[in-house]
Amino acid sequence: MARQSLALLASLAVAVLSLLRAASAESWLYEQFATDGDVRVDYDASGEQVASLILDQHSGAGFISKQKYLFGEFSVQMKLIPGNSAGTVTSFYLTSGEGDEHDEIDMEFMGNSSGAPVVLNTNVWANGDGKKEHQFYLWFDPTADFHTYTVIWNDKNIIFQVDNVTVRAFKRYDDLPYPDAKPMEVHATVWDGSYWATRKGEVKIDWSGAPFAVLYRRYSADACVSRDGRSSCPAGSNKWMNRQLDDTDRVTVAWAGRNCLQYNYCDDGWRFPQGFPGECSRN
């Protein structure tokens, strides 16, 4: 009888733990985001809560924040699609919407053929003015493990970081468009970008490898929440509201430019036959 009681207690403990984990998992994703498509919440081998976005021939997937923000520090860990991911696009970005005058800050990962480098595309849109891409080959395999991707956005600059290494900063100039007035939502997506993602659309998705899954965990937003035309900032927000490049950042940006940067819009004369955007001559 004692053994049966112990076995019953053990079973109950496992059941309770499973329920607690499920509730905890929901608090990471469903309390902060609305979802679209095939989105799953589970645990990896280390016990971390993980959201999986699934892409198949019928649909992509994504999640979008329930809050809107005007400035902040946004971070997530991602593990990208392994193997042949050519034609896929995975993203972590902020946007004010899809109108002609929208603002947006992008971190997009363009799929590759097996063995080829993964490209991180960073971009900034202000009042509908985009075409400001810096594209980097990542210096590690982003499909083998989780890595941290961060956007720091304030009224002075936008800083892009990979594993806390600053790879790019987009500086504000008073006479040029800059995203500083429109609140933005946080998005994460995976979708079919066959028409442009891999070698400018030359390599399409091989659907024999579907479904494709990209994993997200440890999302955080230390940011000013915008609601009803007002913005409420958390305590301690000065640490990112006043954040600009320091000496270490300048060293890592220069390193990324020498070793990882494979496209810079400010070098693309074919794209800008009438002259480069104003910030190109000032950076």
Q: What is the DSSP string of 200-263?
A: GGTS---GGGPSEEEEEEEEEEEEEEEETTEEE--TTTHHHHT----HHHHHHHHHHHHHTEEE
In degrees, rounded to 5, the angle at the alpha carbon of residue 76 between the alpha carbons of residues 73 and 77 is: 145
Considering 48, 101, 104, 202, which one is annotated as catalytic? 104
Q: What is the DSSP string of 31-74?
A: TTEEEEESEEEEE-TT--EEEEEEE-SS--EEEEESSEEEEEEE
Reduce the secondary structure of 114-145 to three states and give it as a string. Answer: CCCCCEEEEEEEECCECCCCEEEECCCCCCCC
What are the residues whose beta carbons fall under 8 Å from the beta carbon of 68, sequence distance 6 or more? Answer: 183, 184, 185, 225, 226, 227
The question of whether 104 is a catalytic residue gets the answer yes
Reduced to 3 states (helix: H, G, I; strand: E, B; else coil), residue 92 is strand
Half-sphere exposure of 2 (CA within 13 A, CB side): 0
Considering 108, 133, 185, 279, which one is annotated as catalytic? 108
H or E segment and range at residue 151: strand 147-153
Q: What is the dihedral of CA 42, 61, 153, 195, to 10 degrees?
A: 140
> Which residues are catalytically annotated?
104, 108
